[in-house]
Amino acid sequence: HEKDPNKRTLKILHLTGPHISYDYEENGAVDCGAPLCCKNGLGENKTNGRKAGHWGEYTCDIPKWLFGDTLEQISKNHKNLDFIYFTGGIKDHTHWKSSTYTQQADIIFHTFKTLIESFPEIPVFPVIGNHEPSLPNQFAPNLPDIYSKGLSTKMLYVDFAAFSQSWLHENTLKTIQSQGYYAHTVSGRLKVIGLNNNVCYKFNWWLLLQTRFIDEQLQFLVRELEKSERYEQYVHILTHLPVGNNDCIQPWEASYTKIVERYAHIIKGQFYGHTGTDGFKIFYDTYSRPINAAFNGANLSPYQNSNPAYKIVHVHPDTMDVVDIETHYFNLTEANLSPNKSPNWKKLYAMKEAYDLSDLSPKSLNDLVDVLFTDTDLMINYWKYSVRLADPSLNELCNLNCRHKIRCKIVTTISGQPKRRRCK
């Protein structure tokens, strides 16, 4: 397909990791001693007397009113959105406490309801995050004896399909109901494939029982990519987990990376979440040539010292190439000084301008990595963007080892096997 430079680019909202605390307690404990604070019933602060702000805290996930306010502001400030990529991370970080499935389904339902009400005419392509099951991180094989014991993830998949029926075709919903993944034809030029790669998560204890069930999804991915190749159709892939960050088991990462290498000519964008930080990854072929790229959405939740963020992705309507990506954020410290006023969202940066890139092709991004290995000032800027200029992170700084780890994650898609010699 020829690229017409005068055509309006598609505008895609990439939203990830809201991690909504529906029991967020304004004026509650910020330093409560638990892994996550600012929630009802977690008692007093342990070391300081600061109380949870109206719009959130850097040690906490977000209150539900911030989620609603954010979507309202996005709908006002970004007209002509074509669709939304929502790469998971709905529930907050209460890892130590399981919930009933009904409680979990209510949280997912209310989140999707808010999305539908905020963007009634815009298709949303969601994927499931590792926090979405009632037992976080647990994604079971689809086996009758597991289902009969009430240990299945099936109800999550069925409900996720039901909540997604406003946007996805009926035949698309069948694979979601089965194992939480799907392929949706947007047009003759674009297919969106939403994977449930949480099954490969190292904290998914079902992998100790068997790993065969996670191969089915990769086989599905290959079939869908084969079809798209046959019909000269481009593909965007959505996942929750990145590969190469020691999150996913290595055999799955190796297989996925091999698939990306085979179909790199039609995969025009990969979009993920989970990490909380902003950034990107480069995929390489067997000869270490850059062939594809994946982009993190940057969490809406400020948990672990980042400012809330979302992204606007510009895509060429003919080639489906990612043309540019803008990151938008607000300063949480400033927002909490004005609890009765909506946060002041602003553009943090656009990739092409910030890094002086001609495009976002894998080759250009690989050239950028070369510079990040030698230009300390640019590397520090990359890190600052990754945490969205969050005050507590800027106070701590990012030392030489911190910067080295960030750089090496960019060039690693199979954990422990970076594609740069200086990372080994």
Tens digit of each residue's pLDDT, the chain (424 residues):
556 666 899 999 999 999 999 999 999 989 888 889 999 887 777 667 788 999 999 999 999 999 999 999 999 999 999 999 999 999 998 877 666 778 888 899 999 999 999 999 999 999 999 999 988 899 998 888 888 888 889 899 999 999 888 888 888 898 999 899 999 999 999 999 999 999 999 999 999 998 888 899 999 999 999 999 999 999 999 999 999 999 999 999 999 999 999 999 999 999 999 999 999 999 999 989 999 999 999 999 999 999 999 999 999 999 999 999 999 999 999 999 999 999 999 999 999 999 999 999 999 999 999 999 999 999 999 999 999 999 999 999 899 999 999 999 999 999 999 988 788 7
CB 20 within 8 A of CB 107: yes
Q: What is the pLDDT of residue 274?
A: 94
Q: Rounded to whole angstroms, how far apart are CA atoms 409 and 282?
A: 9
Q: What is the pLDDT of residue 9?
A: 93
Q: What is the pLDDT of residue 424?
A: 74
Closest CA to 116 of 176, 77, 62, 167: 167
Q: What is the pLDDT of residue 201?
A: 96
Q: Rounded to whole angstroms, how far apart are CA atoms 397 and 145?
A: 51
The neighbour count for residue 168, using CB atoms within 10 Å, is 20
Q: Where are the alpha helices (DSSP H) in 231-320?
A: 250-262
CB 270 within 8 A of CB 293: yes
* Extents of the domains making up the chain: 10-24+61-423
Q: Rounded to whole angstroms, how far apart are CA atoms 389 and 410?
A: 20
Q: Flag whether the pTM goes above 0.75.
A: yes
Give Cα 252 to chain centroid, integer Å: 19
The helix/strand count (H/E) of the chain reads as: 13, 14
Q: Rounded to whole angstroms, how far apart are CA atoms 80 and 404?
A: 39
10-24+61-423, superfamily in CATH?
Metallo-dependent phosphatases (3.60.21.10)
Show Cβ contacts of residue 106 under 8 Å, excluding neighbours closer than 6 positions.
none
Q: What is the pLDDT of residue 98?
A: 65
* Tens digits of residue pLDDT in 152-208: 898 999 999 998 888 888 888 989 998 999 999 999 999 999 999 999 999 999 999
Tokens of 207: 């992998």
What is the residue whose two structure tokens read 């998949």? Answer: 157
Rg (CA), the chain: 21
Characterize the bridge pairing of strands 182-185 and 190-194.
antiparallel
Q: Rounded to whole angstroms, how far apart are CA atoms 2 and 223?
A: 26
Closest CA to 238 of 251, 226, 254, 224: 224
Q: Rounded to whole angstroms, how far apart are CA atoms 305 and 327?
A: 17
